[in-house]
């Protein structure tokens, strides 16, 4: 056997990722907001591109905003102010620091208070030991505790707690405040005492809905304990959750819109949200000079090719997304007519085969893209669902049903169940089997947990 080096010529086929191809792929994956930012960067870099501004471009409503007024009555100034306020919502720490700075206490107390507030997590809990805070601030644990008690009196109630029990007790004590404005939420002394006892000593059992065990330990009727449980459910275990997180507010701007027509549904691109570009007239003024200036000619050639490719890529992005969206809507038409229960199983490969593109192209096209429908705004990914098989017979012609459809049926069954005798996973499975849905009890439990639905023993009321 001869070993050695030699040169050989052979033909092979492979995909070369040129910068232009990478740009086209990236543009296809961008959502409307990302595409707008990308185009703005290109406008700064390439003087031969300009926006088409010969048409009025209305403001796009952010997701969740619906004006009850007509377009003629729409107050743009008020809308911008509302949007600014939404984007600039204060964080929990900012809210607490403001209360600290406006409260009557000396500067050293405020220093300790600022440290405590900055040590809290986003839910408002303080897990840093008071002794450690005292050591870092060169003070006593007692003084740190005094500052903490002051902060625990701030809004929202429950902040500064070091455990779930303490958080709930802080809110419970507020129910007994004599100057409370909402009289309906004030507690009788006996209700307060029992609720405090349950929070301090029986919270874990209550979470498991072990009502009989707790009622026996406290020597009270189970109906009374159910009332106590209802009181505790009004308390907020994460008092900081309603404040702005570290991440900035993000508005959803739909890329597509679907409308009901006589014989079905039609889908269209929302052009107002897509940047419209053209070659700048500045290019024509430079063409004559470029004939005698080699450096300028090379520069213009490079920039004009880049501009044309960008315009072509944006148009191709629009066409690809529209084709894929039409295929999805046609496949899921029953969903728009009857609701989530009729959402069908759909894979990337099915749409890719129908449109005649690669699965990766479908994946990029639906990534972070939203569609405005008569049922609300949905991400395109929502319509790609896994699911379970149906028992195919004369009553059930469909061979499968999506996981979302199964969850919708489950939620409807649970909402209509007898709360004193809630349906077990096994009973839900039997009902679904009667509907022709072949599903296991384990899958029922999985779907229930994904929907945040408690098990039957924990849903039971007395």
pLDDT of residue 65: 32
**CB neighbours (10 Å) of residue 211?**
20
The percent of residues above 90 in pLDDT, for the chain, comes to 20
Identify whether 69 is part of a domain.
no
Give the domain extent around 314.
256-383
| 85 vs 82: CA distance, rounded Å | 5
Q: Stretch 29-52: mean pLDDT, rounded?
A: 86
Q: Is the pLDDT at 48 greater than 50, yes or no?
A: yes
Q: What is the CATH number of the domain that holds 411?
A: 1.10.10.60
Q: Where are the alpha helices (DSSP H) in 30-140?
A: 32-45, 76-87, 92-101, 107-119, 130-137
- Identify which has the larger pLDDT, 438 or 118: 118
**CB neighbours (10 Å) of residue 216?**
12
Identify whether 97 is part of a domain.
yes
Identify whether 70 is part of a domain.
no
Q: Stretch 365-384: mean pLDDT, rounded?
A: 89
For the four alpha carbons of 217, 218, 222 and 225, in that order, the dihedral sign comes to: negative
Q: Is the pLDDT at 245 greater than 70, yes or no?
A: no
Identify whether 61 is part of a domain.
no
| 133, 101: one domain | yes
Q: Is the pLDDT at 55 greater than 50, yes or no?
A: no
Instruction: Assign 419 to helix, strand or coil.
Output: coil
| 368, 337: one domain | yes
- Identify which has the larger pLDDT, 288 or 88: 288
pLDDT of residue 161: 94
- Identify which has the larger pLDDT, 399 or 115: 115
Span 182-239, pLDDT tens digits: 444 556 788 888 999 999 999 988 888 888 898 889 888 888 888 888 889 889 999 9
**CB neighbours (10 Å) of residue 96?**
26
Q: Which two tokens stand for residue 318?
A: 């629009």
| 307, 216: one domain | no
| 343, 277: one domain | yes
pLDDT of residue 179: 53
Identify whether 392 is part of a domain.
yes
CB of 455 closer than 8 Å to CB of 448? yes
| 400, 369: one domain | no
| 225 vs 396: CA distance, rounded Å | 46
Q: Is the pLDDT at 168 greater than 90, yes or no?
A: yes
| 221 vs 218: CA distance, rounded Å | 9
| H or E stretch covering 376 | strand 376-379
pLDDT of residue 50: 85
Q: Which two tokens stand for residue 291?
A: 């004939």
- Which distant-in-sequence residues (6+ apart) come within 8 Å of 345 by Cβ? 385, 386, 387, 400, 401, 402
| 226, 98: one domain | yes
- Residue at a domain's end among 383, 405, 426: 383
CB of 391 closer than 8 Å to CB of 436? yes
The DSSP code sequence of 241-309 is TTSB-SSPP-----SEEEEEETTEEEEEE-GGGS--EEE-THHHHHHHHHTT-HHHHHHHHHHHHHHHH
pLDDT of residue 159: 94
- pLDDT category at 293 given cuts 50, 70, 90 is confident
Q: Is the pLDDT at 431 greater than 50, yes or no?
A: yes
**How far are the Cα atoms of 40, 60, 96, 203, 315 from residue 127, in angstroms, in the given order?**
44, 43, 17, 20, 53
| 138, 175: one domain | yes
| 130, 163: one domain | yes
Longest CA span, the chain: 101
| 149, 223: one domain | yes
pLDDT of residue 187: 66
- Beta strands per DSSP E along 295-369: none
| 393, 368: one domain | no
Span 322-364, pLDDT tens digits: 999 999 999 888 888 888 878 888 889 999 999 998 988 899 8
For the four alpha carbons of 377, 382, 387 and 389, in that order, the dihedral sign comes to: positive
- Residue at a domain's end among 383, 410, 443: 383
Count of domains forming the chain: 3
Identify whether 327 is part of a domain.
yes
Q: Is the pLDDT at 381 greater than 60, yes or no?
A: yes
| 277, 373: one domain | yes
| 110, 229: one domain | yes
Identify whether 108 is part of a domain.
yes
| 256 vs 354: CA distance, rounded Å | 20
Span 63-99, pLDDT tens digits: 333 333 344 444 444 443 444 444 446 789 999 998 9
- Residue at a domain's end among 316, 351, 383: 383
Number of H helices, E strands in the chain: 21, 8
Q: Is the pLDDT at 261 greater than 80, yes or no?
A: yes
């Amino acid at each position: 056997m001869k070993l050695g080096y030699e040169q050989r010529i052979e033909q092979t086929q492979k995909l070369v990722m040129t910068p232009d191809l990478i740009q086209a792929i990236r543009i296809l994956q961008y959502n409307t907001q990302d595409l707008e930012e990308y185009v703005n960067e290109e406008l700064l870099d390439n003087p031969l591109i300009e926006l088409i501004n010969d048409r009025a471009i209305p403001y796009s409503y952010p997701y969740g905003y619906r004006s009850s007024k007509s377009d003629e009555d729409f107050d743009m100034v008020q809308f911008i102010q509302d949007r600014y306020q939404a984007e600039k919502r204060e964080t929990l720490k900012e809210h607490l620091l403001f209360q600290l700075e406006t409260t009557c206490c000396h500067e050293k107390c405020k220093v300790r208070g600022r440290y405590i507030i900055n040590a809290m997590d986003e839910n408002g809990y303080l897990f840093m030991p008071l002794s450690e805070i005292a050591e870092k601030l060169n003070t006593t644990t007692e003084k740190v505790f005094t500052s903490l008690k002051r902060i625990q009196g701030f809004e929202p109630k429950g902040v500064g707690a070091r455990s779930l029990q303490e958080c709930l007790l802080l809110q419970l004590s507020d129910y007994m405040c004599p100057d409370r404005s909402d009289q309906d939420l004030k507690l009788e002394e006996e209700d307060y005492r029992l609720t405090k006892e349950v929070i301090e000593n029986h919270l874990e059992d209550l979470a498991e809905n072990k009502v009989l065990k707790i009622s026996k330990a406290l020597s009270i009727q189970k109906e009374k304990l159910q009332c106590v449980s209802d009181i505790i459910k009004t308390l907020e275990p994460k008092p900081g959750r309603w404040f702005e997180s570290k991440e900035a507010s993000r508005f959803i701007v739909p890329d597509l819109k679907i409308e009901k027509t006589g014989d079905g549904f039609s889908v269209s691109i929302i052009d107002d949200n897509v940047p419209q570009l053209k070659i700048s007239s500045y290019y024509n003024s430079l063409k004559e000079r470029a004939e005698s200036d080699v450096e300028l000619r090379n520069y213009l050639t490079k920039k004009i090719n880049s501009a044309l490719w960008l315009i072509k890529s944006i148009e191709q992005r629009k066409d690809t997304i529209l084709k894929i969206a039409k295929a999805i809507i046609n496949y899921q038409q029953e969903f728009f007519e009857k609701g989530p229960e009729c959402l069908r199983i759909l894979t990337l490969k099915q749409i890719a085969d129908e449109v005649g593109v690669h699965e990766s192209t479908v994946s990029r096209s639906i990534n972070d893209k939203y569609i405005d429908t008569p049922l609300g705004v949905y991400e395109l990914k929502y319509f790609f669902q896994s699911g379970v098989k149906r028992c195919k017979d004369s009553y059930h012609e469909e061979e499968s049903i999506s996981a979302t459809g199964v969850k919708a049926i489950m939620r409807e069954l649970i909402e209509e169940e007898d709360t004193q005798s809630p349906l077990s996973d096994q009973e839900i499975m039997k009902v679904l089997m009667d509907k022709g849905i072949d599903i296991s009890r384990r899958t029922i439990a999985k779907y229930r947990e994904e929907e945040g639905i408690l098990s039957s023993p924990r849903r039971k009321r007395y």
